[in-house]
Chains A and B, each alone.
Chain A
Amino acid sequence: GESVGLHLPTLSVQEGDNSIINCAYSNSASDYFIWYKQESGKGPQFIIDIRSNMDKRQGQRVTVLLNKTVKHLSLQIAATQPGDSAVYFCAELMDTGRRALTFGSGTRLQVQP
């Protein structure tokens, strides 16, 4: 498969534990945020999104938290499974100017059985 993110920060968790992946975004004018999951050799897959008028949004086993004061985004995965092992990216969309997503550098999640 593709070797993406060879030097990424890595989070290692035990199967069944909860995972928290953090992201510091760059622009206070950003008004929309997305978390993506990327498995080796594949394109990023949408997980969950949140608008800037919210501070929390829940999906199936995932929760995204947004703290606009410190420009911080987090992704919480409940009961982490081996299939969750991947690289996770946060992305932001700025309210002004270019309307295209800007991506963070990613975090590798490794789930130990």
Chain B
Amino acid sequence: DGGITQSPKYLFRKEGQNVTLSCEQNLNHDAMYWYRQDPGQGLRLIYYSQIVNDFQKGDIAEGYSVSREKKESFPLTVTSAQKNPTAFYLCASSLRDGSNSPLHFGNGTRLTVT
């Protein structure tokens, strides 16, 4: 089955630790995205990548980092600099840079930092 896999579904970390969220897609999509979702709010864009070895900051990139070494993988690192890291993180991909093609989402990773 083609799709986007995010792992793990639930992740717990202590404050001050960096943590990396995994996102893998086998849809052969060029573009990949990371969004954050908090209760009562829509999705907010953290980072996106239109092509391998290239990525751009979204609206709330501070405290996060990404890499895009392979087409199918776009891991997100939540660093200790992120002030409020507890959230639901969603990864998505699309055929190109979102140009008239819908994003396909994974089922998210719930990160809890205490």
Contact = CB atoms under 8 A, between A and B. Distances in A.
B100 A100 contact: no
Contact of A99 (B4, B6, B35, B50): B50
Given A2-B110, A43-B108, A103 B42 contact: yes
A7 B39 contact: yes
* A89, A100, A106 interface centre (most CB from chain B within 10 Å): A100
Given A7-B39, A100-B58, A103-B43, A44 B97 contact: no
A34 B92 CA distance: 14
Interface stretch (A11-19, A45-53, A63-71, A77-85): A45-53
A98 to B, nearest CB: 7
Interface in A79-97: 89, 91, 93
Nearest to B105: A43
Contacts of B90: 43-44
Chain B's interface size range is 20 to 34
Chain A's interface size range is 20 to 34
Given A6-B39, A44-B43, A106-B42, A100 B104 contact: no
Contacts of A45: 105
B2 interface: no
B63 interface: no
B23 to A, nearest CB: 11
Interface of B: 4, 6, 33, 35, 37, 39-45, 48, 50, 56, 58, 88, 90, 92, 97-100, 102-108, 110
23 contacts: A2-B88, A3-B39, A5-B41, A6-B40, A32-B98, A32-B100, A41-B107, A42-B108, A43-B4, A43-B90, A43-B105, A44-B43, A44-B90, A44-B105, A46-B103, A89-B43, A91-B103, A99-B50, A100-B48, A100-B58, A101-B33, A102-B45, A104-B42
